[in-house]
Amino acid sequence: MNNNAKIIDGHAVSKLIYNDIDIKIKMLAKKNIIPGLAVIVVGNDPASKIYVKNKIIACQKYGIFSMKQEFSEDITENELLNFIEKLNINLKIHGILVQLPLPKHINSKKIIEAINPKKDVDGFSPSNIGRLVTNDPLFIPCTPYGILKILENQNIDFKSLEIVVIGTSNIVGKPIAMLMLNKGATVTLCNSKTKNLSLHTKNADIVIVATGKINTINGSMIKQGAIVVDVGINRNKEGKICGDVEFTSASQIASAITPVPGGVGPMTIAMLIYNTVRSAEIQQNLNN
């Protein structure tokens, strides 16, 4: 049976988040507090530079104080650690984000652990991941948080749903699986070694795909009426931006699907700004 899936508009959902952010920023302004975000980027990775630029633009647009620090590829681990230490005690800065990936000579784990967990608006530190696992989150990683907000906006009751997550990164796959588990869903995590991917995806009410690989799944691999969330941002042979899901066939079988671009992407930055504002609130003991 053919149907056409509802295309979930990530921009529309992000607007709802920005409305909430606006209210919070006005409340903070009454107390002379401007939320501040520091973004660090090391080296010349073109994708990282674009992501960081977009994060800074969003800060400017929504009235967040921002500080961008670019370091050359050859910065030492100690220099980076010293810089983070200064940001940890800078009262104007409520959120610290180190854009990943970092050059190979820098131990990313050590850098993430150096960020004060109360300013870790990426939610990547062991303490914040631990709090997510125990269902007591402080900061939820931005892309998984954005996916949760998109799904909640579809009025989904997660209890007893079968959810399959494809991709097990620390940034997306593992935290989104944990979030869904905490909402009462039955969650299956698949990776590149999974023997029969279809066996899992065909049984899922929601499929979340975060592999970074074009055509990871297509319409023949999902259940009629499933919801498909595509986290990938890739370029196809023609140079066009596309996700991890073969959209044309999947949208014939799914009941709803996030497009690329315009689905999960806009939510990641919205949740970063949201986390930064929340951090300012928490540091001022407002609304917590």
Site for ligand GUN, rule CB under 6 A: 97-100, 122, 142-143, 171
Q: For residue 168, say whether it is annotated as part of any ligand binding site.
A: yes
Rounded to 5 degrees, φ, ψ at 166 are -110, 120
Which H or E run contains 28? helix 10-30
55 catalytic, yes or no?
A: yes
**CB of 106 closer than 8 Å to CB of 80:** yes
Instruction: For residue 96, give the H/E element and its range.
Output: strand 95-98
Kind of pairing between the strands at 162-166 and 186-190: parallel
Residue 194 assigned as binding residue: no
The DSSP call for residue 158 is: -
Cβ atoms of 38 and 87 within 8 Å: the answer is: yes
Task: Specify whether 118 is catalytic.
Answer: no
How does strand 6-7 pair with strand 36-42?
unpaired
Is position 157 annotated as part of the catalytic site? Answer: no
- For residue 13, the minimal CB distance to ligand GUN (Å) is 17
What is the smallest separation between the CB atom of 170 and ligand GUN, expressed in angstroms?
A: 10
Residue least distant from ligand GUN (Cβ) = 100
Rg (CA), the chain: 19
From 119, 120, 122, 230, the catalytic residue: 122
Shortest Å distance, C-beta 4 to ligand GUN: 31
Taking the least distance from each CB to ligand GUN, the nearer of 18 and 250 is: 18
* Rounded least distance, CB 176 to ligand GUN, Å: 12
Entry field: residues in the chain: 288
Rounded Cα distance, 266 and 145, in Å: 12
**Active-site residue, selected from the candidate residues 55, 119, 149, 183:** 55
Containing 33, the helix (H) or strand (E) segment is none
Tell me if 127 is assigned to a ligand binding site. Answer: no
Query: 167 a known binding residue?
Result: yes
Cβ proximity to ligand GUN: between 75 and 142 the closer is 142
Of 24, 99, 118, 244, which one is the catalytic site residue? 99
What's 287's DSSP letter? -
Q: Which is nearer to ligand GUN, 170 or 284 (CB)?
A: 170
Nearer to ligand GUN, 37 or 226 (CB): 37
Annotated binding site for NADP(+): 167-169, 233
Q: What amino acid positions are annotated as catalytic residues?
A: 55, 99, 122
